[in-house]
Amino acid sequence: MRARRGWVLLDVLMGMIIVAILGAILGGAAAMHQRGMLHLQDSRTANRLAESALLSMKSHQSPTASSGGELFFQKLPDSQVPGMSWVEVRAAVHNRTASLIGLVPQDTIPVGEK
């Protein structure tokens, strides 16, 4: 009878160890998944911010940085369209950047960063 109890206790301990290892693996995977979701969210926010800035400039409005991001503008070589210029808009949100190039009116291009 005693030998049987010892084997049951050993089986229970092994089962608990296996469950603890699986729990640690799943916890690590969940943390990596959460981190990846946050990086993707920041990338999407940077893209939306750059798109919003280009749309504002095309509508003759001044672009504004929001969502905790920064905007950087760079005028590219002149276009063949009178009164219009190519501009590169870079948006940065929590070390994630997005860059878009668009044709906007020359008078709406901000200088430097905004």
pLDDT number for residue 24 = 96
**Residue 113, in any domain of the structure:** no
**Residue 82, in any domain of the structure:** yes
**Residue 114, in any domain of the structure:** no
Of 15-24, 30-39, 68-77, the least confident: 68-77
pLDDT number for residue 19 = 96
DSSP string, 5-74: HHHHHHHHHHHHHHHHHHHHHHHHHHHHHHHHHHHHHHHHHHHHHHHHHHHHHHTT------TT-EEEEE
Q: How many domains does the chain have?
A: 1
32 is in which domain, residue-wise?
A: 2-108
Strand 84-93: give its sheet, edge to edge: 70-78, 84-93, 96-105
Asked if residues 100 and 89 have their Cβ atoms less than 8 Å apart, the reply is yes
More confident residue, 91 or 79: 91
Kindly report, residue by residue over 36-56, the tens digit of the pLDDT: 999 999 999 999 999 999 999
**Residue 8, in any domain of the structure:** yes
Asked if residues 52 and 97 have their Cβ atoms less than 8 Å apart, the reply is no
Q: Is the pTM of this model over 0.85?
A: no
